[in-house]
Amino acid sequence: MDRQKFSFYCAWLGLLLAAMFGLSACGAGGSGNVVPVESLAPEAQTVVAQSTANAAMWTETADPKGNLPAPEVENTPGAIEESEEVVPTEAPAPTEEPPPTEELEPTEVPEADNEGESGADEEQDLGSGGAPENDDNYEIRDVCDAAEFVEDVNIPDGEEFEPGNGFEKTWRVRNVGTCIWTNEYDLVFADGLPMGHIVSKPLRESVAPGETVDLTIQLTAPNDPGTYRSYWQLRNASNDLFGVGANSDDAFWVEIVVKGEQPVSYSLAANYCRAEWRNSWAIVACPSPEDKENGFVRLLDKPIFDTGEEEEIPAIHVHPDNTMHGAVVGEFPAYRISEGDHFQAGIGCLYNNADCEVVFVLGYRAEDGEIVALQLWNQQHDDDNYQNVDVPLRSFAGQDLRLVLAVLANGDATGDDVFWLNPRIER
């Protein structure tokens, strides 16, 4: 189906997905049976109305670092000490110990001269808090806890590392709330890939409103080639998370590129828990218990198809949250696309789900933060077995692509047990 025939459905889908997940546009298609316009268009107004309440959670804003709704935290060289918390088991194991962290002592802030210069142009170590920099472009907000991103002190986005190498990342942030950040405040891992075993570090000294602090965390590059992000936020003494951005709830991040040749075939099934999964309103654990109310994701070694046929091929089993037009969406880490790469998978309903009726979506995260739909397929219980889908990715050759797999319930999600059979990138 060409893009012109897609236009009406894309307009509806764009509103629905933008409201629910930030998904925005229909892209060039691949093979497979795309969703017919007439099957979904009548529900447009109802779905958009139901979904709009969740829009703020899924829509990214224009923070200096770009803001994801996921929690974020910051770390400070010399202002934070390691905790004993351990990282989720899916984090890549480092191949070598990270380099030791050198503690930085706070330096004295130069006094202003007779002409009112603050001396802030000179380099200062603000590892444990410091006087406000010579920057009048900030305001103390009428909230207790709020942070403002100032700059990346080191490791700009996209810096390359050898697999398994340790490194330190430092952000500079400002306290723009009314409360003092004490040693009961922590820098905490919020989202993405932890890149190491440290998931929280307490502030060592206080940071008063208006002061800046350098937050440093010690991390380890993953062992597999690719592009990775780790998101961080702050946590106060009441265990409430806060961060940067207009609403003081956005995370800041570190993004690195791990060098090396990537495999000819990348299995999304084998790496399904490296994706971030969400339902219509919240993050979904991976793997998850079979919770149809909130949606779930898990891996099946021997899926049983709608026809009763069993296949010894791994499949990602997903179920949208049990609401009208529920959803489950997984965003995978960036993968470098080469000439000749294709996305391939089987899609369908699992056995004994007579009410199954969904839309499968293959998409990707664009540079502007939007998620763009590449191809869509409709699937129902009475379909003959499952569909084999094949989408060329040649237009993304040379790019680090964050693929998105989504399943949207076409109505009530009660019977929507579905699968992505061996989803992969083949060359």
This prediction's pTM? 0.49
Q: What is the per-residue pLDDT across 265-321, written as a single tens digit (0 to 9) for each?
A: 789 999 999 999 999 889 999 999 988 889 999 999 988 887 778 888 999 999 999
Integer CA distances (angstroms), 369 to 20, 157, 333, 364, 406, in order: 14, 15, 14, 10, 16
Q: What is the mean pLDDT of the chain?
A: 74
pLDDT of residue 29: 37
pLDDT of residue 14: 52
Q: What is the largest CA-CA distance in the chain?
A: 85
Task: Indicate if the pLDDT at residue 45 is higher than 60.
Answer: no
Distance CA 124, CA 102 (A): 16
The dihedral of CA 139, 145, 148, 154: what is its sign? positive
Share of the chain above pLDDT 70, in %: 67
Geometric angle at alpha carbon 405, from 400 and 409, rounded to 5°: 155
User: What integer is the mean pLDDT of 326-341?
Assistant: 91
pLDDT of residue 309: 82
Q: What is the per-residue pLDDT across 402-414, written as a single tens digit (0 to 9) for each?
A: 999 999 998 888 8
Integer CA distances (angstroms), 209 to 13, 74, 124, 185, in order: 44, 16, 18, 14
Task: Indicate if the pLDDT at residue 194 is higher than 80.
Answer: yes
Q: Which residues contact 143 (CB under 8 A, 6 or more apart)?
A: 177, 178, 248
Report the side by side order of strands in the sheet with 147-152: 147-152, 166-175, 212-220
The type of residue at 313 is I
pLDDT of residue 260: 85
Alpha helices in 30-181 (DSSP H): 37-40, 44-52, 55-58
Closest CA to 332 of 227, 241, 190, 201: 227
Integer CA distances (angstroms), 361 to 17, 37, 81, 204, 379, in order: 11, 15, 43, 46, 11
The type of residue at 260 is G
User: What integer is the mean pLDDT of 27-34?
Assistant: 38
For the chain, domains (ranges, CATH) are 62-260 (2.60.40.10), 280-426 (2.60.120.200)
Please, which residues bridge with residue 151 across strands?
A: 172
- More confident site: 28 or 181: 181
- More confident site: 203 or 89: 203
Distance CA 283, CA 382 (A): 31
Task: Indicate if the pLDDT at residue 104 is higher than 60.
Answer: no
Task: Indicate if the pLDDT at residue 421 is higher than 70.
Answer: yes
Q: What is the per-residue pLDDT across 198-224, written as a single tens digit (0 to 9) for each?
A: 999 999 889 999 999 999 999 999 988
400 in Cβ contact with 227 (< 8 Å): yes
Task: Indicate if the pLDDT at residue 343 is higher than 80.
Answer: yes
User: What integer is the mean pLDDT of 364-375?
Assistant: 90
Q: Which two tokens stand for residue 63?
A: 């923070």
Distance CA 23, CA 402 (A): 13
Q: Which residues contact 190 (CB under 8 A, 6 or more apart)?
A: 70, 71, 72, 73, 231, 232, 233, 241, 243, 251
